[in-house]
Structure formats: structure tokens, C-alpha cells
Chain A
Amino acid sequence: MVRYQLGDAAAVEELVQRLSPRLMRFFAATEPPGEREDLFQDCWIRVHRSRHTYRAGEPLLPWIFAIARHTRLDAYRRRRRRESRELAVDVLPEVASAGPEQSGGENFDRLLEKLPEGQREVIVMLKVTGMSLEDVARATSSTVGAVKQKAHRAYSTLRSVLEKEGHA
């Protein structure tokens, strides 16, 4: 990242190569299929514009994911605004849900959809992108305690959802 700040083209290549799969995994777990690539590109542009705010010696992953998180939040707000305007003009016909893709019988993504936004985001960062508690706290501008609490609440919700579905 420091080489990127110095304008090294090879560093850009390496960074994009190494972090793109993780970022894509994050967007895939939280966004409808049609919007993932747009958000992915938007996120990289934001990373580029705010690259001067990376402080050498600090962990890179939370810095990148804090930007990815805000890319998502802004897209979510835009989508909500657009939807509310569209509904005000006309009632749209019901369309099939554009949720995350189904992958086999065990679908963690389908379960995640049942969680509130904040808890879902924390679980995606912890479980899907493999970040540590401290990294998630950094990325969400929160404290480790708050992240831990959200994760435990999320798991309580998931357990009760599974119980209702007859898994326990």
C-alpha cells in the first residue's frame, strides 16, 4: 500500500490481484447479483481516491473494508431512494427476489438474509471474508465489544430461525 501511495504501478497490480477476490466475496454475500460488479469497481475507485488516508503500519484489510462497507451503504441508500420514488408513481409487479445465488443444500447466505443489516454485515465480515473481531471493529468504526455483541445477537437470531424451520 505504501508503494501504491508512492505511485508504483506494480503495487496497484498486486493489490488489485490479491484483494479483488475478498472484496467480491464481500459484495456477493450482501448484494444482488446485478449490482456486485458495479459496486466492486466503485469501491476500487474510492480506495484510489482516498489512498492518502492509509497510515503506514496499520492493518490494510480493515481500511479497505471500511471503504467497501460505505460503498455498499451508499448503494443501499440510493436503491432505497429509487425504490420509494418508483413505488410512489406506480405499483410495480412482483418480481423474483434477486438474493444471493443458491449454492447446494446448506445455504448460509439464505440464512443471512433474515438478519438485520448491522448484524448481517458483521457476520459476513467475520465468516465470509475471514476477518478478526478487531479488524471488523476497525472496518465498521466500532468497538470490539460492540462487534462481539452484534455477532452473538446474530447467532441467537439464526438459531431461532433454524428452530422455526424445524432444524432443532
Chain B
Amino acid sequence: MAAEERAVCRSVDAEFDCLADPGAPLSAAARQHMATCARCRLLYGHADAPPATPAVSMAAVEATRRTLLTELSPVRPIRSAAATTALLGLVFVSLAIPLIAMSRIGGFRVMRWWQMLPMSALFAVCAILLCLSVSWQMAPGRLQRISGKSLRTVLAVAFVAGAVVLFPWQLQGEFVRSGARCLLEGSAMALPAMALFVLLLRRGAPPEPGMLGSTMGTLAGLLGVTVLQFTCPLQQTLHLALWHGGILLVAALAGAAIGPYSTRAGAMRP
């Protein structure tokens, strides 16, 4: 291939790389070049000329149509993503407030305003994002502006960073005993939340039920962590990061385990 032609190919490559959408058509000059260049036609040709539709056998279409018509009955669609998000949020708040009110409020007494405000904001933002992510994941074909995996990572990093930056490092009391108690209490608080979330999501057919379960578990775990943040008197970095943070991990794992059984994920399976 001549150097001149190679240079034109490179410019078509560069033009293609700059396209906002790889499916968009190329410029007239690029299309003119493609008419004579086999390489560029092979790479970018489909943008201009859609490929021939492979024939679908009439027997297959007929069998499909028959099956669908035989089993046809009206169905009630699932709630909209906004309604699901709102309901999940409502469950979160309506469980968190009574649980904080019923527990001892050691956290309120120990924390200063500059610790309480950022942690409250962090929990609120994460709860909203997790509710959104869960409602996006419960049905196929929904755009996920933030993936469930990234969201869980961001939540874990932000929580640990908050604990490191805002709280003192010194240890008080029995680290393991009090920590294990917090882990158990927080996980126990996550349980009713998880049960209610499962009830709300049971009609979903998530493409990735494990991921949905894990995100749902993290949201339930966040409820436990939020309640403990305002009720636990041990507001120290290691205690928060290890034992309170551990609740998120335990709940996410439990959620991932029950995810495939909590929704109609079976509808997506043969």
C-alpha cells in the first residue's frame, strides 16, 4: 500500500476515533476514500451500508408466535424506576428513624457537628444513589449511570476515608468485644430492611441478580451503619472502619447470596 494511501487511511482512522458515536456516518471525503480502500471499507463500511438481514426461517417465527399466543395473558407492569427509588428510600428512612430513636443515642453525644454533618451527608447521598442503582438494576435495558460495583466501592472508600479524617485514632474499651457487638447489632438491623427490599423487588427480572442482591444488601447494611453511627458511643477510626464498615461487607455478601432467589430472575433463565 502506498504511503500516500496509508496516510489517508490514518486520517479516516483519526476521524472515526473522534466521532461521538461510533455508529455515526463518516464525512463525504472519508466515504469517497472507502470506495477505493478495501481496508477502510472492511472496518467502517457498516456505518453507511447496514448488513443484509439474515433470513429468519418461517418455521421458527411461526413456532415463536404460536408459543407466545398460547401463553398470552395480561400482566401488570412493574413500578417506574422513580417510584421504586422513592419506595426504597421511604423504607430506609422509616426504619432508620425508629431504630435510632429506640437505641441509646451515644453517637449524638460523642460526635461534634463537624463530624456529624459530613457523615450524615455521606449516608444520605449513598442511600439515594444505592436506591437509584437498585431500581435501575431490577429490570433489563435500563441505563445505569453509575454501576452497582463502582457505587459499592465508592461508598466503602468514602466511609473509611470519613472515619480516618474525621475521627480520633485512640482506642477505648474492649476493641474486639465491643466491635463484634456492633457488627452483630448492625447486621441484625439490616435484616428487616433486606426483607422489605426483597418484597419491593420481587417482581423484577434483573439481568444480573447477584449484583442486584449485593447492591440491595449494601443498602440494607448502610441502614445498620447509619443507625450505629448515631447510637454507638465508640466513635473512633478503627472501630468505625473495621466493625461498622464490616456490616456493609456482610450485608453485601448476604444480598449477593439471596439475590438470585429474591426476584423473578428465573424469567431470564431457560
Contacts and interface: CB of A to CB of B under 8 A. Distances in A.
Task: Tell me if B's interface is mostly helix, strand, loop or mixed.
Answer: loop
Interface in A130-159: 130-134, 137-139, 141-144, 148, 151-152, 155, 158-159
Interface residues of B, number: 65
B23 A159 contact: no
A7 B73 CA distance: 5
B140 A50 contact: yes
A156 to B, nearest CB: 9
B176 interface: no
Contacts of A106: 38, 41-42, 45
A40 B67 CA distance: 13
Interface string A26-69: 00110000001100111011101111111110110011111101
A139 B139 CA distance: 11
Task: Tell me if A's interface is mostly helix, strand, loop or mixed.
Answer: helix
A115 interface: no
Interface in A13-37: 13, 16-17, 20-22, 24-25, 28-29, 36-37
B72 A143 contact: no
A7 B72 contact: yes
Contacts, number: 199
B78 A130 contact: no
B60 A141 contact: no
B31 to A, nearest CB: 15
14 contacts: A12-B65, A20-B56, A25-B53, A45-B68, A48-B71, A50-B267, A52-B203, A54-B141, A55-B78, A106-B41, A111-B43, A133-B20, A133-B22, A143-B145
Given A16-B68, A24-B56, 7 more contacts: A16-B61, A64-B141, A74-B269, A128-B46, A133-B21, A139-B140, A143-B147
Interface of B: 1, 6, 9, 13, 16-17, 20-23, 38-39, 41-43, 45-47, 50-57, 60-61, 63-65, 67-69, 71-78, 80-81, 137-147, 203-205, 207-208, 264, 267-270
Q: Which 4 A-B pairs have the closest CB atoms?
A: A63-B141, A66-B140, A7-B74, A50-B205
